[in-house]
Amino acid sequence: MDKIYMSGLEFYGYHGVFEEENRLGQRFLADVVMSLPLQQAGLTDDLHETVHYGEAYDCIREIMDGEPAKLLETLAERIAASLLASFPALQDVQVKVTKLHPPIKGPMNGVAVEIVRSR
């Protein structure tokens, strides 16, 4: 299956279990891989035969900037469901959401959750 990658999408959100995360907010990253047949788009140069990246970004942004969630798992599920509902050509979607500065003592580059959802 062909794939479209959207990598390193940055957002500032108020997601998390702790009150200070919900009040102060923090940076998050989202990475999305969308699987769908792309040969027709490549042959015809027709945007209607693929996923419009800007529209996909808007779906992701709406979730990441929207209603706070306690869990990264919830954000990933919301993004996957939104993309699958918005783009009928998608066969499956892989979503990774990273919290860059989780409230954990110790050095790290972040904590991430990655899911794959199919039709």
> Catalytic site residues?
99
DSSP characters over 16-28: SSSHHHHHH-EEE
Q: Residue 88 gets which letter from DSSP? A: T
Q: Is 55 within 8 Å of 85 (Cβ atoms)?
A: no
- d(CA 30, CA 9) in angstroms, rounded, equals 5
